[in-house]
Chains A and B, each alone.
Chain A
């Protein structure tokens, strides 16, 4: 079982993960996590929590990014039949941020405008996940076509 209060930046599963954040650390690499089961969502949340902590996000913003990641990963699992979540710290001259890329090879989103509307669901959820995740992040791009899966790229910048 995964220990709960894992060290910030605790070991992600990708081999590229060796040696995490030291001062002047190597260029940021996205770590990719598989989402195949409900338990994998836990792993994703832990990883996003740790990454946003490492970047110095205020507590409330950590909660925002973790929640958005949870929504998108669950959608990939439930609607897309499973997928991946890439978590990438960004260090740009303009600021520090965290990028999430959530991908699946499922049926795609037929009605994107509908899907982003609160209360719209084709399943048994509340239908607030996708629109909610968009509001929790600063940028939010959906790339989806019927039959070709869905990729959502979202960034939240650190604000002080």
Chain B
């Protein structure tokens, strides 16, 4: 800390309190000139964001915090910086543009203090204070931006998972899930959830799991399938596994996995015929119960 820092900070606090709107305006203008925001952000949002952040900065400066701790130590300001970064991460703004946008605030502040009639010495002191104040904002912004992108990637991969495991209503009371690709733990969890929900909402009595599109059935895939079948049965429905190709059948046998108490069929068409028989039987049973 230089001897003059408290004086410079007090001056900055006073000037900013008086010239908030002007500073925010200027900041927005710099960002617009340099196109530092993504296509998903309009000018009004930008202006609102700048007003909020500059106001929080002004309050934070007046608080009793060391200058380099103002950004992280003053909660409204910290949140404003985090939100700015998350908003940009979501809007598809690049990380470079995001940090340049935060850095542009330094320039805007400098221009604001230059409006005051001050000597070179005092201006230099102010510039140092502004730098120390906003370097923390750069770091925080970058950290948050990365968090934001990770959140998006996770959400997208979850969405992709759900998209790739549709539950099809094949016939009255018959549902089918055509599985395509690798059936890992996460995927089989999604399949199970979607299927059980659909069984309930469609009042289905048979679920067909078609594995034609699953290239490898090893012990782990087999275990996931068995767990899904078990859960379907717990809901009072029957389960048929279709698409069991010759290679897969032989491999399952060599692995020593016993699927004998599960209905399996070579093709989806066979499975549908089986399913229709099963629903027919169920109807007959219901009929018998009704008549007796």
Q: Mark A31-75, 1 if CB is under 8 A from B, else 0.
A: 000000010001001000100000000011011101100110010
CB of B181 within 8 A of chain A?
A: yes
A63, B251: Cβ atoms under 8 Å?
yes
CB of B247 within 8 A of chain A?
A: yes
Other-chain residue from A4, A49, A125 in contact with B223 (beta carbon distance below 8 A): A125
**Which of B181, B182, B216, B222 counts the most chain A CB atoms within 10 A?**
B216
A67 CB contacts on chain B under 8 angstroms? 216-218, 251, 255
CB of B189 within 8 A of chain A?
A: no
Other-chain residue from A60, A70, A129 in contact with B246 (beta carbon distance below 8 A): A60
B255 CB contacts on chain A under 8 angstroms? 67, 71, 128-129, 132, 135-136
Q: What is the bound-complex CA distance between A151 and B3, given in angstroms?
A: 67
Range, interface on chain A? 20 to 34
CB of A106 within 8 A of chain B?
A: no
CB of A89 within 8 A of chain B?
A: no
B220 CB contacts on chain A under 8 angstroms? 70, 74, 125, 129
A129, B218: Cβ atoms under 8 Å?
yes
Count of A-B contacts judged by CB separation below 8 Å: 65
CB of B219 within 8 A of chain A?
A: yes
A49, B215: Cβ atoms under 8 Å?
yes
Q: Mark A124-142, 1 if CB is under 8 A from B, else 0.
A: 0110110110011000000
* CB nearest neighbor in B for A134: B254
Q: What is the bound-complex CA distance between A49 and B216, given in angstroms?
A: 10
A42, B223: Cβ atoms under 8 Å?
no
CB of A28 within 8 A of chain B?
A: no
Would A38 and B184 be within 8 Å (CB), given that A59-B247, A64-B251, A135-B256 are in contact? yes
B247, A70: Cβ atoms under 8 Å?
no
Q: What is the bound-complex CA distance between A82 and B247, given in angstroms?
A: 28
Q: Mark B30-43, 1 if CB is under 8 A from A, else 0.
A: 00000000000000
Q: Mark B176-205, 1 if CB is under 8 A from A, else 0.
A: 000001101100000000000000000000
Task: Tell me the B217-254 residues at the A interface (CB within 8 Å).
Answer: 217-220, 222-223, 246-248, 250-251, 254
**Closest Cβ of chain B: how far from A10's Cβ, in Å?**
14
Would A126 and B222 be within 8 Å (CB), given that A63-B216, A70-B216, A131-B256 are in contact? yes
Sort A-B residue pairs by CB-CB distance and give the 8 closest, nearest first.
Answer: A132-B255, A63-B247, A60-B247, A70-B218, A118-B256, A135-B254, A129-B219, A128-B219
Q: Knowing that A74-B220, A136-B251 are A-B contacts, what are 7 other residue pairs whose CB atoms are under 8 Å apart, sorted by A's residue number?
A: A45-B216, A60-B250, A63-B251, A67-B251, A70-B220, A132-B255, A132-B256
Q: List 5 A-B contacts (CB under 8 A).
A: A4-B181, A71-B218, A125-B220, A136-B251, A136-B255
